[in-house]
């Protein structure tokens, strides 16, 4: 997704913002905080389709580690800025916390909760500075507030080590959009927020109620195109219980594909790895989504991806035999032709492989042999819903061989792969988490059925 819309003032905005950010960071450091983290973290959330949770106070490292290993979530919303936050004190939220989560594979959704709509009725926000409804010079005061809030957020993002290319989300809570000045000032504020973030090299996101702020944006997008710069991504609060990115409040075309987050359930407790957190639940589809790299060609183009792997032995022939020859040749056990015929040379190679892998002696490629062969490869990464990689292909092949999972070998860890992992875990006495860890890899590598 491009970081900037067509805007001839972008270079000028970028220079001005760089000055503003530097000043803001210096001021922040003067308050006694640590020096800004180096911008060597990956941009976040990047390309991802999967589950996220958000909670007001950033969880402890122990809680994040427990949920990494046990929960379906692989993204987390964190409140980094804004005077209207209900949790201005964030004892866990440090540059080290940010870099640790990113290195572990977590995607971070960085949220700002600053001035709210002028017509908000929420008591807490009435005590805070709100978006100015003054229409003078096309809501110039609201636009200035949007720029200022973006400056503060970018400064805080820099201090935490959130890299350019990351999405910064503005939280505009529910309000009555029927009043012209309240609605147009909110749009002007978000317009300026987005422009300012683009000038700083960040992606603009807006979180709001589906029935108010999000519907407002979608209505303007369709009825007054070009009147306001739209955010790059939207976060839809619509507690309909459906883990997808749809909402009945907006059209199916806006911010599609891969530019939506859906908060589908509000505050509730969930427990993973013995740790309970009160969260909102979200489904994420951003960037290019979870997209696997192209599969590596095996042996010049031999197909090794099957929904099931039947036992093959001496005298057999066909594509499965060719696949077995290919897999064994890649490890140096088989040196014959990829003939698709199970002959004495292949039988000897199978015997050698089974001995090296600690499998029972034999010359046939049975289910245990297929399983161990198919998951061979470098690295046994932790994976869950949303992973997209070549190791996911190895996992899918291994589950097809070990458990007749019937998975399409796509390299994308989605619902059917999660269900297959959970079945395999249940069958072998592992915690049923849907998360692939070293224990599950070890079972597959040993050909455990």
Cβ distance 438 to 430 under 8 Å? no
- Residue 176 counted as domain residue: yes
- Helix, strand or coil, per DSSP, at residue 259: strand
- Residue 254 counted as domain residue: yes
Q: How far apart are CA 276 and CA 67, in angstroms?
A: 9
Q: Are residues 35 and 145 in the same domain?
A: yes
Q: Are residues 261 and 328 in the same domain?
A: no
- Helices 367-374 and 438-445, axial angle in degrees (round to 10): 130
The number of residues in the chain equals 449
Q: Are residues 327 and 280 in the same domain?
A: no
Domain that holds residue 416: 319-445
Residue for token digits 């519907």?
A: 215
Q: Give the contacts of 77 (CB within 8 A, at least 6 positions apart).
A: 52, 53, 54, 55, 108, 109, 111, 169, 280, 282
- Residue 275 counted as domain residue: yes
- Residue 304 counted as domain residue: no
Give me the pLDDT at residue 378, please.
83
Q: Are residues 223 and 345 in the same domain?
A: no
- Residue 34 counted as domain residue: yes
CATH of the domain at 254: 3.20.20.80
Q: How far apart are CA 230 and CA 86, in angstroms?
A: 27
Q: Are residues 111 and 235 in the same domain?
A: yes
- Residue 308 counted as domain residue: no
Q: Give the contacts of 389 (CB within 8 A, at least 6 positions apart).
A: 292, 293, 381, 383, 411
Q: Are residues 104 and 228 in the same domain?
A: yes
- Residue 293 counted as domain residue: no
Q: Are residues 146 and 54 in the same domain?
A: yes
Q: Are residues 49 and 159 in the same domain?
A: yes
Q: Give, for all 449 residues of the chain, the pLDDT tens digit.
A: 322 233 333 344 444 444 444 444 434 433 333 434 445 899 999 999 999 999 999 999 999 999 999 999 999 999 999 999 999 999 999 999 999 999 999 999 999 999 999 999 999 999 999 999 999 999 999 999 999 999 999 999 999 999 999 999 999 999 999 999 999 999 999 999 999 999 999 999 999 999 999 999 999 999 999 999 999 999 999 999 999 999 999 999 999 999 999 999 999 999 999 999 999 999 999 999 999 999 989 999 999 999 999 999 999 999 999 999 999 999 999 999 999 999 999 999 999 999 999 999 999 999 999 999 999 988 899 999 999 999 999 999 999 999 999 999 999 999 999 999 999 999 999 999 999 999 999 999 999 99
CATH of the domain at 419: 1.10.101.10
Number of structural domains (the chain) is 2
State which of 286, 309, 329 marks the end of a domain: 286
Give me the pLDDT at residue 39, please.
53
- Residue 295 counted as domain residue: no
Closest of 14, 72, 74, 65 to residue 44, by C-alpha: 74
């Amino acid at each position: 997704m491009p970081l900037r819309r067509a805007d001839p003032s972008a270079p000028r905005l970028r220079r001005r913002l760089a000055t503003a950010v530097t000043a803001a960071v210096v001021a922040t450091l003067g308050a006694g905080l640590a020096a800004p983290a180096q911008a060597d973290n990956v941009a976040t959330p990047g390309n991802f389709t999967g589950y996220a949770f958000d909670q007001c106070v950033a969880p402890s490292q122990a809680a994040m580690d427990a949920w990494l290993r046990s929960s379906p979530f692989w993204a987390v919303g964190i409140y980094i800025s804004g005077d209207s936050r209900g949790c201005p004190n964030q004892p866990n939220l440090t540059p080290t916390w940010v870099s640790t989560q990113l290195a572990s594979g977590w995607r971070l959704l960085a949220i700002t909760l600053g001035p709210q709509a002028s017509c908000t009725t929420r008591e807490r926000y009435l005590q805070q500075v709100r978006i100015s409804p003054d229409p003078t010079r096309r809501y110039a005061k609201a636009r200035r507030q949007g720029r200022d809030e973006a400056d503060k957020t970018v400064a805080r993002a820099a201090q935490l080590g959130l890299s350019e290319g990351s999405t910064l989300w503005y939280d505009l809570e529910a309000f009555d959009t029927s009043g012209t000045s309240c609605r147009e000032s909110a749009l002007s504020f978000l317009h300026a927020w987005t422009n300012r973030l683009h000038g700083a090299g960040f992606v603009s996101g807006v979180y709001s109620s589906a029935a108010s702020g999000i519907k407002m944006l979608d209505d303007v997008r369709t009825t007054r195109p070009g009147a306001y710069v739209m955010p790059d991504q939207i976060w839809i609060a619509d507690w309909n219980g459906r883990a997808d990115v749809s909402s009945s409040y907006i059209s199916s075309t806006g911010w599609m594909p891969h530019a939506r987050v859906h908060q589908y359930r509000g505050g509730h407790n969930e427990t993973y790895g013995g740790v309970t957190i009160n969260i909102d639940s979200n489904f994420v589809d951003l960037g290019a989504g979870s997209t696997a790299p192209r599969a590596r060609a095996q042996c010049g183009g031999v197909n090794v991806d099957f929904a099931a792997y039947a036992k093959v032995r001496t005298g057999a022939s066909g594509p499965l035999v060719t696949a077995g020859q290919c897999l064994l040749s890649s490890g140096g056990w088989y040196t014959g032709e990829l003939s698709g015929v199970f002959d004495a040379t292949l039988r000897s190679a199978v015997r050698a492989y089974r001995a090296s892998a600690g499998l029972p002696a034999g010359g046939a490629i049975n289910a245990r042999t297929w399983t161990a062969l198919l998951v061979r490869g470098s690295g046994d990464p932790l994976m869950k819903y949303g992973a997209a990689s070549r190791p996911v292909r190895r996992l899918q092949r291994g589950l097809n061989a070990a458990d007749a999972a019937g998975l399409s070998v796509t390299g994308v860890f989605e619902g059917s792969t999660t269900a297959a992992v959970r079945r395999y875990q249940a069958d072998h006495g592992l915690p049923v988490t849907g998360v692939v860890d070293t224990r599950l890899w070890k079972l597959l590598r040993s050909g455990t059925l």
